[in-house]
Amino acid sequence: MTRTEVLVIGAGPAGIAAATAAAENGRQVIVLDDNLNAGGQIWRGATVEKAGSSHQGNAAKRRAMTRLQQSGAQVLGGRCVFSVEASGTLQTLQETGSDSLVEQFQFDQLILATGARERFLPFPGWTLAGVFGAGGLQALVKGGYPVAGKRVIVAGTGPLLLAVAAHLAQDGAAVSSVLEQATLAQLAPFATSLWANPAKLVQGARYRGKLWKTPYRTGSWIIEAIAGSDGRKLGAVRVTNGTRTWEEPCDLLACGYHLVPNTEIAALLGCTFRGAFVQVDDAQRTSLPNVFCAGEPTGIAGLEAAMVQGEIAGLSCAGLIGTSLQKRAVVERAFARRMEKAFSLRPELRSLPRADTIVCRCEDVAFGSLHGRTSWTDAKLQTRCGMGPCQGRTCGPAVEYLLGWRPVSVRQPLFPVPLQAFCSHDERVEINQLKEKV
Ligand SMILES: Cc1cc2nc3c(=O)[nH]c(=O)nc-3n(C[C@H](O)[C@H](O)[C@H](O)COP(=O)(O)OP(=O)(O)OC[C@H]3O[C@@H](n4cnc5c(N)ncnc54)[C@H](O)[C@@H]3O)c2cc1C
């Protein structure tokens, strides 16, 4: 059992800012993340550094990481939090090669900075090889997956599409289209409001600059991914703008429908929610004593919001109030609301899956099997939808959008944990010997 005053779950921008602020103000801090390295989604370190790549040297990341290192906060990577008790303990799983290890941590204060994940919506062909989540493909490319010379279409909704398309183009991909399902009329007020936020405007312009040859088609969405001549891999996509339908050839499709917050730990603890998000006050306090939350679980608002909220949460743990930061957080919250409205999903996306389109990829449940089911629990019991290793993280938000069913409960372990992880050293040695024999 490791003890600490402040435990931060998530080493993305929010968790880094929170840990730094708390540690700089005298608190003993441990940060846990299931990724090996700190950085979260946006600052995910390139595992294969490419010489001369301008993805390196992100100044904000460098500043944040340096401050974190100097703060004295301890970052423990490769630890996935799978259970937590409001009384002040949690358990992590660490997988090292063939072995798995469960560790326990005890804390006085907890900061949840667990970020968000992509929302996927099923459409015919979305399980073909070559179809990726937008952020998923970007993460693979950051890890060394080669896209140079490949024809890529980026589709779905949200500001992430431009960021991903720019990243892929910079890595040599031929990005032939960016397809945004939101209409120009939906996006226009959001785009105009960016004049009040020069940093975001510059960022958007920078992305667009890297994509000057690539059309950004609003009000357009993928209705089908079509296999190439081998029948297995993606060869083209069928696209519509509601009045016209056309096909575009491609090798890869990067498709995601904005983000959904990672709120399972908050739900497990019993924090109060505001819609899909964890409810927090101006000091990032949740409804539970000594539990704070920062970044995407409190609202999808982007990098600046995550850093500001993280810093407020860290200061709060040290008994301090960041008044000027709180004013910035209010501005960022308004930005999040505008973004949510701009990228709201069109109803036509609900009619994309056919009866044989897979919805739950872990358990191979087709959309047709959900007909006649009345709720998420009914679907789980009768079809095993959401019962696989991802525990509904992928199909849950899709089913919620398609059929309006909200998951009813979150249970621990949040992630599959091998029984071996709970065994003593001797038992593990015995299990490994048995495995070798088998
Ligand atoms: C796939 C993806 C790609 C993105 N790419 C970009 C981009 O290119 N540009 C851009 O501007 N924005 C991007 N974003 C949005 C960006 O992540 C946010 O704007 C912001 O940076 C979020 O910061 P955060 O600290 O709240 O969350 P994150 O950066 O998501 O960090 C959360 C961290 O918590 C960890 N975590 C979660 N649950 C657990 C658990 N149970 N146990 C241990 N650790 C856990 C995660 O591993 C992660 O490292 C992306 C988002 C996603 C989902």
Q: Which of 158, 160, 155 is nearest to 178 (CA)?
A: 155
Top pLDDT among 56 and 418 is at 418
Percent of the chain residues topping a pLDDT of 90: 82
pLDDT digits (tens, 9 = 90+) for 373-387: 999 999 999 999 999
Could you tell which of 41, 112, 255, 278 is best to mutate to test the pocket of ligand 1, judged by most ligand atoms within 8 Å of the CB? Answer: 41
Q: How far is the CA of 117 from the centre of ligand 1 (A)?
A: 7
Q: Is the CB of 32 under 6 A from ligand 1?
A: yes
Those residues with Cβ within 8 angstroms of residue 404's Cβ, 6 or more apart along the chain or in another chain:
none
* pLDDT at residue 8 is higher than 90: yes
Q: How confident is the model at residue 46 (pLDDT cuts 50, 70, 90)?
A: low
CB 254 within 8 A of CB 155: yes
First to last CA, the chain: 34
- pTM score: 0.94
What pLDDT was estimated at residue 294? 98
- Nearest residue (CA) to ligand 1, atom 6: 42
CA-closest residue to ligand 1 atom 41: 81
pLDDT in tens, 283-309: 999 999 999 999 999 999 999 999 999
Read off the pLDDT band of 56 (50, 70, 90): very low
CA of 261 to the centre of ligand 1 (A): 9
Sorted by where each starts, the structural domains of the chain and their CATH numbers stand as: 2-117+260-321 (3.50.50.60), 122-257 (3.50.50.60), 353-403 (no CATH)
11 CB within 6 A, ligand 1: yes
Going by the DSSP 8-state scheme, the letter that residue 350 receives in this structure is G
Structure confidence by residue, pLDDT tens digits, 207-237:
989 998 899 999 999 999 999 999 899 999 9
Question: Separation of 43 CA from ligand 1 center, angstroms?
Answer: 8
pLDDT at 29: 98
Does ligand 1 lie within 6 Å of residue 162's CB atom?
Answer: no
Residue 155, ligand 1, Cβ within 6 A: no
Token duo for residue 83? 């259970």
**Atom 10 of ligand 1: nearest residue by CA position:** 42
Q: Name the CA dihedral angle for 320, 325, 329, 330, rounded to a multiple of 10 degrees.
A: 100
Distance of CA 116 from the midpoint of ligand 1 (Å)? 6
